[in-house]
């Protein structure tokens, strides 16, 4: 696990993993305005400053959650917070600015 601290996050790989796990959630923690500009189809937007409301959208703490933001800073904080409150399958996949796929 310690080695994961030095592994570069890859949103492209993370999105592929998300697509292959039944009932997994792709969580975008950018602001509502950023999300409205463009986002990955199928993602759930809960801005970082509203993350305390996540249990209303994702009540099962064993759900696989792939967290991203714009560049990776907010997603790291969000992933740490989610783990702290008991979600145990949380993956910080970095920033959408590195995403190579289509957005809507």
Buried b (16+ CB within 10 A) or exposed e, 4-38: eeeeebebeebbebbeeeeebbbbbbbbeebbeee
Tokens found for residue 53: 């409301």
Say which residue the tokens 């917070």 belong to: 81
As a residue count, the chain comes to: 104
Give the separation between CA 95 and CA 40, rounded to whole angstroms. 11
Active site residues: 69
């Amino acid at each position: 696990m310690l080695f994961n601290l030095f592994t570069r996050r890859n949103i492209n790989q993370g999105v592929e993993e998300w697509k292959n796990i039944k009932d997994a959630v792709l969580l975008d923690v950018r602001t509502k305005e950023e999300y409205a500009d463009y986002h990955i189809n199928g993602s759930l937007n809960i801005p970082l400053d509203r993350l305390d409301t996540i249990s209303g959208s994702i009540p099962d703490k064993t759900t696989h959650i792939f967290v991203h933001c714009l560049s990776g800073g907010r997603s790291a904080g969000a992933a740490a917070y989610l783990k702290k409150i008991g979600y145990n399958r949380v993956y910080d996949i970095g920033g959408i600015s590195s995403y190579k796929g289509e957005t809507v």
